[in-house]
Amino acid sequence: METEIPAMLRAREQLLPERFTFHSSRMRMKSVTKEELMAMDRDSDRCALELSDARMDAMGYACLVAIMSMGKGYHRESQRRLHEVTVANGAPTPVITSAGALVEGLQAIGARRVAIIAPYMKPLTQLVIAYIENEGIEVIDSVSLEIHDNLAVGARDPKAPAELWKQLNVKGADAIVASACVQMPSLAAVPMIEAASGLPVVSSAVCTTYAILKSLWLERRVPNAGALLSGRY
């Protein structure tokens, strides 16, 4: 979130007039386990409150699996609750979750069947798959890298998904998710996979950027960030 979303919005600034600043409040999480994810989510109210002091125009909750591990459809509850935190602080702010944004982004391009790449241990990937399918999008295949260390996830080569996607069965897929995790870099790989596969390619970070721009009523166009941010949606 803190690397790829600023990179996308900086690239957008080369084409369009809006300018952005980036601010963060952090929830602790070292190992990507269900227990740590639950503790992380409990900390999200504090983060929303702290950021609302600075009067943000939009907030993004950066951990997809923290939301999806809390139960199907939980992004709606989280977004509502965190928005209410900002309202109570006198600074009503739209709140986006990367979990909800991934679903929204796939729906925006009309994807009903997808294949995904995830860094998670397989049980967590299955939670993600079940969550996405509960939103009416079938996951026809997935790759789980089974990395439990959160720092190791963030340290991966952003071009790595350009090779990993070849392990997926994409026959009948409407789109590919290059990274179902905002912590795992993939932005550099998105246009590469699109060129090689002929399919639209998104990531959690790409979809979160789309949702942020939509919430601000701005044109959803970013160069070299894939079909979703081409300006067509």
Catalytic residues, by residue number, are: 63, 181
State the DSSP string of the chain: -TTHHHHHHHHHHTTSS------------SB--HHHHHHHHHTHHHHHHHHHTT--S-EEE--HHHHHTT-TTHHHHHHHHHHHHHHHTT----EEEHHHHHHHHHHHTT-SEEEEEE-S-HHHHHHHHHHHHHTT-EEEEEEE----BHHHHHTS-TTTHHHHGGGS--TT-SEEEEESSTTS--GGGHHHHHHHH-S-EEEHHHHHHHHHHHHTT---B-TTS-GGGBS--
